[in-house]
Structure 1
Amino acid sequence: MNLKELTDYGKAEKETYVKWIKKAKKANSRSLDDQFHKLHQEAFRKIDCLVCANCCKTTSPIFRDVDIKRLSKRLRMPESKFIDTYLKIDEDQDYVLRSSPCAFLGDDNYCSVYEDRPLACREYPHTDRKNMYQILPLTRKNMEVCPAVSYIMKEISKKI
């Protein structure tokens, strides 16, 4: 499976999936969730995140207060120093990474704080959540970053 082709597909087919989302939101939400969850499992049997790590290289999770507390404790630094060193406030007034790629991403694509990573990282790419219809626009955007999401969306769009 060519990971770059999948993310390129996600970028190239943006408008197709913006239209598809309108149709998918009318589908039975339980059925939609079931399909997403099945395809999520399938995608991650085929795709190894450590080969890609594009999410860690190009995007930033939101850091909640609990994430900041946990990571600053792990790194043995005051929360204020953690914030000053690694974070900034974005246009939505959320804490996000100051720069990309993530400062905790190693050359081998392993996360140096994996056990204590933010909730947003733990849940990414969000394709195994309940009520997927609520986050379809976010899922569409994630097609441009995550090859697994592109794979899932490509497959699910054939069914709805």
Structure 2
Amino acid sequence: MIDEGWDKESKEHQKQYKYMLERGNKNNILRALPRLNDEAFAKIDCLECANCCKNYSPRFKQPDIKRISKSLRLKEGELVARYLILDSEGDYVSRTKPCPFLAEDNTCNIYDDRPSDCARYPYTDEDVLIKRVPLTLKNSLSCPITHHVLEALLELEGGKKS
């Protein structure tokens, strides 16, 4: 169940999140992530939201392209031509938003073969959370799970101010 107003709260807490992620106790944060990640995923159903699939594209790396094209019985070049473009950083990303593999019920048509970025998103159980602070802050504005984990970390770090 996604809490009402999480997105507004996340927007209001961006400075607190940034400060905590940059200056908080990294070891405490990293130690807490697996538990907080599991709690967030137990509480929040991604299929209610799918903001990630609706608004962003993962990077489709070569192993992803190979695996997905095999699964869809397409040649790699055909998969790229049909669904992907090169972004400004030289990565293949989805040609459209929402993701062309997102079904109407917010499930993924290639879930078992999805890109590694999708499988890892929102990185709330990884050191990416503190190593790539701008990405974490961006994710907190679109992903209720990221918001939930950051709010719990604020409480743990003693930085939660209403």
Please give the TM-score of this superposition, normalised by the length of structure 2. 0.88
- State how 1:98-109 maps to structure 2 within 5 Å: 98-109=95-106
| Partner residue in 1 for 2:5 | 5
Would you say the 8 A contact 1:61–1:96 is kept in 2?
yes
Alpha-carbon distance in structure 1 between the residues aligned to 2:101 and 2:140: 23
| Aligned equivalent of 1:46 | 43
Whether contact under 8 Å (1:58, 1:101) holds in the other structure is yes
8 A Cα contact 2:58 2:93, kept in partner: yes
Question: Which structure 2 segments of 5+ residues have no match?
Answer: 158-162
Unaligned runs of 5+ in 1: none
Matched residue SS, 2:24: coil
User: Percent identity of the aligned residues?
Assistant: 38
Residue identity opposite 1:111 in structure 2:
C
Structure of greater relative contact order (alpha carbons < 8 Å, 6+ residues apart) = 1
Shift of 1:139: 1.0
Select which of 112, 115, 122 maps to 2:112.
Answer: 115
Distance in 1 (alpha carbons) for counterparts of 2:21 and 2:98:
33
Equivalent pairs, count: 157
Distance 2:34 2:133 in 1: 14
For the aligned residue pairs, the C-alpha RMSD in angstroms reads 1.8
Moved over 3 A (4+): 1-4
Q: Partner of 1:63 in structure 2?
A: 60
Larger CA deviation: 102-111 vs 27-36: 27-36
Aligned to 1:33, which of 30, 35, 44?
30
2:83 partner amino acid: Y
Contact kept in structure 1, 2:2 and 2:45, CA below 8 Å: no
